[in-house]
Amino acid sequence: MSNPKLISVQLVSSPNIDENLKAVEKQLTEIRRQFPSDELLVVLPECCLMFATKDHEVREFSEHSKQGPMQDALSELSQRFKLYLVAGTIAVKADDGRHFAASILFNPQGEQLGQYNKVHLFDVDVADGYGSYRESENTHPGQHISVIKTPIGNIGMAVCYDLRFGALFQTMREMGADIFVLPSAFTKVTGQAHWELLSRARAVENQCYMIASNQGGEHKNGRVTWGQSMVVDPWGVVESEIASGEGFAVGEFDRDKLQALRVKMPMVSQQRFQSTLLKN
């Protein structure tokens, strides 16, 4: 049997959920056409079904955990196309009136295997047309680290701004991660400077595959995202990438290569530092 395919989907999502679902379905249809019988792990970008101008607009469409039309639609897609699907992020209600930026892993039967809520929130000023981002005003920070065991491999989940915080990835590696998944919506300014650098670094320093799926283009709300979605191997080699616009990049999960690298360079057993997630 061939190695599982690792697929990073790039979108240019809009504020319209139905439009975005059609765009996702289009990519999955083409992926299955090219790989009709392969085992697939497909990662969608952040805000895959709702790319709004303001976070409070996203909150209006937030859903309860494990119920709601967006989750139902994503479950149906994973089941119809028979693949593991990391559903970018959607808004899932938090108890304080805000929402979580939730990344949900579905299996080929359409079941939710786990949910990761974005831990690090994007409260920064950027020299772009949008200027100021204050994600925490409407988004509640996640309180847990998620590494989910699957037949393909152990999947460590992160989202966008998390990429800048290496301790999260180190902890996921210590928890047994083989593959990092990173749905993102990096701005053009920050992406041009750091997207590839950080994506490759997180893969190398933790000896894991990285599926980095970004929004990539000019959106209907005027924001511009960087793109360059990619699949990186544990040696830091970019196996495949896509520049801008909709499409996907494809790599392979080679467990033998992964294990051989970790045996030759046993970084986890040599690590002398530990970090702890601070609860908000």
Residue 22 annotated among the catalytic residues of the structure: no
Structural domain boundaries, residue 252: 5-267
Q: What is the pLDDT of residue 221?
A: 84
Over residues 21-60, the pLDDT tens digits come to 999 999 999 999 999 999 999 999 999 999 986 666 777 8
Contact between residue 187 and residue 126 where contact means Cβ atoms under 8 Å apart: yes
CA atoms of 179 and 172, how far apart (whole Å):
10
CA dihedral over 202, 204, 209, 211, signed as positive or negative: positive
CATH number, residue 102: 3.60.110.10
What CA–CA distances, in Å, run from 205 to 24, 163, 208, 216?
32, 13, 8, 26
Between CA 82 and CA 50, with CA 250 as vertex, the angle to 5 degrees is 65
Let me know if residue 114 belongs to a domain: yes
Let me know if residue 277 belongs to a domain: no
Counting the structural domains of the chain, the total is 1
Residue from 232, 238, 177, 163 nearest 206 by CA? 177
CA atoms of 225 and 136, how far apart (whole Å):
20
Let me know if residue 222 belongs to a domain: yes
Cα dihedral 40/263/157/141 (nearest 10): 180
Q: What is the pLDDT of residue 29?
A: 98
Residue 239 annotated among the catalytic residues of the structure: no
Let me know if residue 272 belongs to a domain: no
Q: What is the pLDDT of residue 67?
A: 95
Tokens linked to 205: 């320093």
For range 111-124, the mean pLDDT: 95
Q: What is the pLDDT of residue 131?
A: 65
DSSP the chain: -PPPEEEEEEB---S-HHHHHHHHHHHHHHHHHHSSSS-EEEEPPTTSS---SSHHHHHTT-B-TT-SHHHHHHHHHHHHHTSEEEEEEEEEE-TTS-EEEEEEEE-TTS-EEEEEE--S--EEE-SSSS-EEEGGGTBPPP----EEE-SS-EEEE--GGGGG-HHHHHHHHHTT-SEEEEEE--BHHHHHHHHHHHHHHHHHHHT-EEEEEEB-SB-TTS-BB---EEEE-TTS-EEEEE-SSSEEEEEE--HHHHHHHHHHS-HHHH------PPP-
The residue annotated as part of the active site, out of 39, 46, 135, 241, is 46
Let me know if residue 45 belongs to a domain: yes
The residue annotated as part of the active site, out of 5, 39, 48, 160, is 160
Q: Is the pTM of this model over 0.85?
A: yes
CA dihedral over 155, 35, 234, 184, signed as positive or negative: negative
Over residues 68-102, the pLDDT tens digits come to 999 999 999 999 999 999 999 999 999 999 999 99
Let me know if residue 278 belongs to a domain: no
Confidence class of residue 133 from pLDDT cuts 50, 70 and 90?
Answer: confident
Over residues 189-231, the pLDDT tens digits come to 999 999 999 999 999 999 999 999 999 999 988 889 999 999 9
For range 159-183, the mean pLDDT: 98
Let me know if residue 42 belongs to a domain: yes
Let me know if residue 276 belongs to a domain: no
The residue annotated as part of the active site, out of 118, 188, 208, 241, is 118
DSSP 183-230: EE--BHHHHHHHHHHHHHHHHHHHT-EEEEEEB-SB-TTS-BB---EE
What's the full length of the chain, in residues? Answer: 280
Contacts for 254 with CB less than 8 Å, ≥ 6 apart: 3, 233
